[in-house]
Amino acid sequence: MTSVDTATTAAVALENVYAGYGGRAVLHGVTAAIPAGTVTALVGANGSGKSTLLAVMASTLAPTAGTVRRGVSRRPAFVVQRSAVSDALPVTVRETIEMGRWAERGPWRRLTREDRAVVRTCMDRLDVADLARRRLGDLSGGQRQRVLLAQGLAQESDLLLLDEPATGLDADSRERIMAVLAEERGRGVTVVHATHSNREAAHADRILRVRDGRLEGAADAGADV
């Protein structure tokens, strides 16, 4: 693929964005356009700012300066790292994935038949249907990661933001997740995911390298990361 086609609609456009925590800047003037319907991999060292960049794209973290514009119609689905989810949450796998429908229905509303069908499909796609009644906190890290991704898919957003969705998973689970991301793109969903894996990044259409809170410039997948 060629680099950014300016005629392509951006699913997310950041302009000169600064963001951080408690007065400490982590992102320093990030400008980027994520073309709609593509898969973008965010790569960079630990602490470089990938999760922070995803949080800004998801609007769970407000920039201290600069602008974030989204060209998508639905609220983004943001799947955080599994370590960011408490073990103590007293919810089952099914309930966790059902929460993905709240974006559509509002919290604690009765789910419709359609909602339940979406939840079932998402469980099957991530191979977690057998775990439906287990408590989220009792699962292995890899199982939990797949459940969180299923929750993200259940939101049926057109922008899927994923923080290291395949990190620490076995080879089969990693491949399944990469296949799911490709399927989502096939449905027109824009996917942005942080990864430390060159192999995972190579599946992406574009790679954004983050270094010390700045972008090093977009590269087509296949370039060295």
Ligand X SMILES: Nc1ncnc2c1ncn2[C@@H]1O[C@H](COP(=O)(O)OP(=O)(O)OP(=O)(O)O)[C@@H](O)[C@H]1O
Binding site for ligand X (CB under 6 A): 21, 26, 44, 46-52, 194
Q: How many Cβ atoms sit within 10 Å of the Cβ of residue 89?
A: 12
Nearer to ligand X, 47 or 217 (CB): 47
The kind and range of the H/E element at 183 are helix 171-186
Distance, CA of 205 to chain centre? 15
Of the two residues 82 and 125, which places its CB atom closer to ligand X in the complex?
Answer: 82
| Closest distance to ligand X from the beta carbon of 220 (Å) | 21
Q: How far is the CB of 44 from ligand X (least distance, A)?
A: 5
The residues, any chain, with a CB within 8 Å of residue 134's CB and separated by 6 or more, are 92, 93
User: Are 44 and 214 within 8 A, CB to CB?
Assistant: no
Q: Least distance to ligand X from the beta carbon of 195, Å?
A: 9
- Cβ proximity to ligand X: between 49 and 100 the closer is 49
Phi first, then psi: what are they for 64, rounded to 5°? -85, -20
CB of 117 to ligand X, least distance (A): 34
Q: Pick between residue 60 and residue 67 the one whose CB is nearest to ligand X.
A: 60
